[in-house]
Structures are given as C-alpha cells and as structure tokens.
Amino acid sequence: MLKEAIQFFQDEIRPNAYAIDHDPKAMTTAFHGLKERGLLALKRPDAFGGPALNESEFRRFQEEIARYSGALAFLQTQHQSAVSLLNKQAGDKIKAEYLPKMHGEKTVGLGFSQLRRAGNPICRATVVDGGFQIDGFVPWITGKGYFDEYIIGATMPNGQALFGLIPFKNVKGQTLSKPMKLAAMEAANTVTGQLESYFLPNRKVAFIKDKDWMRANDAFNITLQGHFAIGCALAGIDVVRDNGDKRGLAFLTKAAKDLEQELHDCRQALIDSQKDFGEDTASDRLKKRAWAIDLMMRCAQAAVTSSSGAANTADHPANRVLREAIVFSVSAQTSAIMEATMDRLVGR
Ligand SMILES: Cc1cc2nc3c(=O)[nH]c(=O)nc-3n(C[C@H](O)[C@H](O)[C@H](O)COP(=O)(O)OP(=O)(O)OC[C@H]3O[C@@H](n4cnc5c(N)ncnc54)[C@H](O)[C@@H]3O)c2cc1C
C-alpha cells in the first residue's frame, strides 16, 4: 500500500505540487486521488474497515506525502488525526457512526489549537438542555470545502475540554471566515470560526477530557509531528540533488548526500525517542523536534541556494519548499517547542 502511495505521489502529485499549493481545484483532484486509493484512514482498525497501518509505516507515509506536497500532507493529516482521535477517545456510538465511513465518505477536520492558549479560554462550552452551548473563537480550522465536519475543542467552566463534531460550514450559531491568505498551503482553505450560542447536541459530543489532557496529548506528539519536517527536508534535498545533476556541480551532489546522512540520523533519533516515551524524556524529545525543524529549514535554504535566481520564480519548487517549511515549523507548536527551537537556533 505504501509503495502504491509513493508511486501516486511521484506520478501525480509531484508534477502538480505548485498548483496543489494555491489552487483549490488542483487540491480537490489530489485529495480525491487519496480517497480513491483508500489512503485517508490509514490507522483505522480492521474492526472498522482498516487498513490499520502500523506506526512506522504511517510515519513513512506522512514523510513521503510531505516530500511531494506539503499542502496535501497538511490537509489530509487533519482528517487522519481525526480518525485516530475518534478511535482512541470517542464512545462506541460515535465510533460506529463515523469510523466505518472515514475512508472518504465522511471527512472530518480539527479546530482545537485554541486549547493550547494560556489565559482566558477563547472558546467556551456550557451545559444546556440536551447538550452544550458553544461561544467564542476558533483561530485555525483547515479544510473548508474538503471536510464535512470538524472536531471543535471548547473549555467548560470547570476547566475540562469538550470535543464535539460540528458542521464545517456556516450554520445557525457559527460563522466561518473566508479562506485565509497564506504564504503556503493556501489551497487547503484554512479559516477561522466565530461561534455564538451554537447548540451542540449530546449525540455530537465526541469526548470530554480533563484540563491537562491537551498538554499530555501535545507531549505525546512532540516527535511524531517532526516527521512532516523530515518530509519537507527530503523535498529540499531532492532539489539540491537535481541541481547537482543538472549543473554538473559535484559540491551540490556532495551537499545533498551529507544532508541526507544527517536526515537519516535525525529520523532515527525521532523514532528512538518515541520508544522511551515518558514525562522525564520530554526535554530530550523537544531537542529532537527542534533538530528536525532546524534541519528542514537548512535543507529548504540549500534548495534555494542551489537553484540561484530561478528559486525566486513563483512556481519553482525551492521557494514552495521554503514556504511549506514555515508551516511545519509552527504546526502543533507549544511554548516548550517554541523554546526548544529558539535554543537550537541561537546555538544553546
Ligand atoms: C496554516 C495553518 C493551519 C492550521 N490549521 C489548524 C487546524 O486545522 N486545526 C488546528 O487545531 N490547528 C491548526 N493550526 C494551528 C497550529 O497548530 C498552531 O499554529 C499551534 O497550535 C500554535 O498556536 P498559535 O499559532 O495560535 O499560537 P499561540 O497559541 O498564540 O501560541 C503558541 C504557544 O505559545 C503559548 N503562548 C501564547 N501566548 C502565551 C502567553 N501569553 N503566555 C504563555 N504562553 C503563551 C501557547 O500556549 C502556545 O503553546 C494551523 C496553523 C497554521 C499556521
């Protein structure tokens, strides 16, 4: 399955990566390509239709898709994460309603990064008859026009976090913005949501978690998210290697090789650190994530440098990779990841 997926990325995604980044029509075609090949619910257990990819195969998939199109990687991962989240956390009814259809019939995005923010909650849920009332702001929801629903995160008066499924469109109590103008991945249609007395019926409550669940979940994901940076770094190395071949410059070929060696080491470090997962290993895992981000940025810059002036032309892969690297530097960022990244950048 992985082999087939990579073939699809090389044949149909790589040649259209520029269009997929900024043109929703090209993105729609690419996203349908994933649906048709059964690549949208890769970690779904066999009991709900599979294919239950194991962790290492799944991370390899995430790297390879990010290598050929950061925008498509970013869009599809929202839905893949929703599959995993519902499978791990939701009750039986929601699982039975959603999971069997999540290979593409039912598509779901995410809107809960606001739960990471310090201070007064910006999106709140209060108990009302038959469900919850949601009020506030969702600063990031990717996938308008691609996903049917999204999982919203809202803070309850007792500090717990409510996760519920709501339509990904303007409905009574919810106004979504127009897709944001972004430096990269604009075609993934990222919007904001304003909620005013939105009624979430009990049957759409996915799960409720204690205050620090989000922190624990983020801690678990510190290095897992680093695989997107690895994929983006691979894309940068591909550009450097191609330039070495085209221009006959041996030092570019050597640079690509050296970066590739570092990438193998960094990837292995990410994989190893996930094996000794625990609170006490968080600082080590933060360092590995910062390494992956730093390496990605260097590979993207190497792609630009090796392409010379042409890197500035709008459709050149070097500037797309550099722009995608901006998103993968901050997606699922916590203040601890920000600090680890800064420490690495200033050479501490
Ligand atoms: C293009 C794009 C699309 C995205 N799509 C989605 C999506 O579909 N779904 C989704 O859920 N998320 C999405 N995100 C959000 C992404 O995961 C966030 O970038 C990430 O959670 C960081 O949040 P933030 O950028 O809003 O920064 P902030 O929340 O402003 O800050 C980042 C970190 O710093 C901490 N912090 C901020 N201010 C303070 C303070 N005053 N004191 C102490 N700590 C502070 C926060 O707690 C947080 O950990 C998207 C982001 C981008 C760039």
pLDDT digits (tens, 9 = 90+) for 232-255: 999 999 999 999 999 999 999 999
Q: Are 43 and 80 in contact (CB under 8 A)?
A: yes
Name the residue of 108, 115, 117 whose CB sits within 8 Å of the most ligand 1 atoms, as the mutation to test its pocket: 117
- Ligand 1 in contact with 139 (CB < 6 A)? yes
**Which residues of the chain, if any, have pLDDT below 70?**
none
Task: Kindly report the protein residue whose alpha carbon is nearest to atom 29 of ligand 1.
Answer: 117
- Ligand 1 in contact with 76 (CB < 6 A)? no
Question: How far is the centre of ligand 1, averaged over its atoms, from the C-alpha of 112 (Å)?
Answer: 9
Q: Is the pTM higher than 0.85?
A: yes
Q: Spell out the domains of the chain, with CATH numbers in brackets.
A: 2-101 (1.10.540.10), 108-211 (2.40.110.10), 214-345 (1.20.140.10)
- Ligand 1 in contact with 99 (CB < 6 A)? no
Amino acid 162: pLDDT: 98
Question: How far is the centre of ligand 1, averaged over its atoms, from the C-alpha of 10 (Å)?
Answer: 32
Amino acid 323: pLDDT: 98
Q: How many CB atoms lie within 10 A of CB 70?
A: 28
Amino acid 287: pLDDT: 97
Amino acid 295: pLDDT: 98
- Ligand 1 in contact with 335 (CB < 6 A)? yes
pLDDT digits (tens, 9 = 90+) for 175-185: 999 999 999 99
CA distance 326 to 74: 12
CA distance 237 to 245: 12
Amino acid 212: pLDDT: 87
